[in-house]
Chain A
């Protein structure tokens, strides 16, 4: 017998509520109920980071986060970065400029990790950036261009580039 629960949360600044199956992951809820398809289903066991979203300011793999746990939380997905006229955020543009996107499947997850990192307004070394981005896997780029994109956006925001 299916078990359902009402989940109220804020998604990309908007208060929302929906009835979810208690067996659903947050990825299931964001994709199926809210059509937020930037949240990718990759490994579904918390290894690849393609489903990464920001919950109350911290990054989580939404595939291993139960949808019911989202109750009362503030959730941010890649869709939140889009400007009112469809403009890209600086970090998204940097991914394009640095050729940090090949197949693109890992990109939303990487960008959300970068968003959280950039919001700390700290300057990280290349080595620290590697550690912070270690929860996202990319099978195409070899990571160098991704690191370049994040590093350059960080330096630009700090007024050092």
Chain B
């Protein structure tokens, strides 16, 4: 039995918004693989919960008319990985969320919950940063869209207002068309582990595959929130592909990242693997794009 003070079950998105306003203390419960566990641990014991898990309208991946990929916030990690639209256009996202926990966790955990949780280690987050994803929030006055980099305010805090819930994650066409990506999760174990650090890289090559048109490098657990390596990206844009260039970009990420010492890993180790992960991700993403290194 969970120590739940009171539980409200939303019957629709509109109803969830009403319940948000009526019960401001209630925590939004999606799959529960973070909240229920923290409730068991005692950290969230005695709280009110607002379950949105039954809202099937928030499940599934669709392609909108303008080419935007729309991922319903309650889509499970397993369904993200298995989805044909994800596989065709943004396969690295499916690969990244396939490294979360174990099979049962990937069946219950949702991509919306993973991002709303606000933690820097979320495997979906760095990849969504690399894709310049937009977050759709629905509240009393309709929906609004926020770039994912602005959605994360600080560790554990995301931009969800008191009347809102996250309803979708959107990847605009200009963010994914022509790009290929690779993700590396660095952790102690292959399953049931949280990333010591994660790196997601997208590249877009020129038509002759000799030049990097655009590159996006994102990290988890290299700062209090997921982040982009803006300085390093700037070094790579419009440059001819070479091992020297890749080395130069990778080493520059040190200027962008803000890792800390924690019980999981030291700052020095995180810096070391940040460079190495960028290097390997860049090579892999370039190869996936048809380039040669």
Asked if B84 lies at the interface with its beta carbon under 8 angstroms from chain A, I say: no
Asked if B178 lies at the interface with its beta carbon under 8 angstroms from chain A, I say: no
Asked if A28 lies at the interface with its beta carbon under 8 angstroms from chain B, I say: yes
Instruction: Place the interface of chain B in its size category.
Output: 20 to 34
Residues of chain B contacted by A42 (CB below 8 angstroms): none
Docked complex Cα distance between A135 and B99 (Å): 12
A67 to chain B, nearest CB (A): 10
B-binding residues in A (CB < 8 A): 3, 21-25, 28, 44-47, 49, 52, 58-61, 64-66, 68-69, 71, 113, 131-132, 134-136
Asked if B107 lies at the interface with its beta carbon under 8 angstroms from chain A, I say: yes
Cβ-closest 8 pairs across A and B: A135-B102, A134-B191, A135-B104, A22-B7, A134-B102, A135-B103, A61-B104, A23-B4
Docked complex Cα distance between A3 and B5 (Å): 10
Residues of chain B contacted by A44 (CB below 8 angstroms): 40
Pairwise interchain contact B7-A64, C-beta atoms closer than 8 A: no
Contact of B1 among A23, A134, A135 (CB under 8 A): A23
Pairwise interchain contact B192-A59, C-beta atoms closer than 8 A: no
Residues of chain A contacted by B102 (CB below 8 angstroms): 49, 134-136
Residues of chain B contacted by A23 (CB below 8 angstroms): 1-4, 7
Other CB < 8 Å A-B pairs besides A23-B4, A64-B32, A64-B37, 11 of them?
Answer: A23-B2, A25-B2, A28-B1, A46-B37, A58-B78, A58-B107, A113-B103, A131-B103, A135-B103, A135-B191, A135-B192
Contact of A60 among B51, B101, B108 (CB under 8 A): B108
What are 30 A-B interface contacts by the 8 Å CB criterion? A3-B7, A21-B1, A23-B2, A23-B4, A24-B2, A25-B1, A45-B37, A46-B101, A47-B192, A49-B102, A60-B107, A61-B104, A64-B36, A65-B108, A66-B7, A68-B9, A68-B51, A69-B51, A69-B53, A69-B54, A71-B54, A113-B103, A113-B104, A131-B103, A131-B190, A132-B103, A134-B190, A134-B192, A135-B101, A136-B102
Residues of chain A contacted by B40 (CB below 8 angstroms): 44-45
Asked if B187 lies at the interface with its beta carbon under 8 angstroms from chain A, I say: no
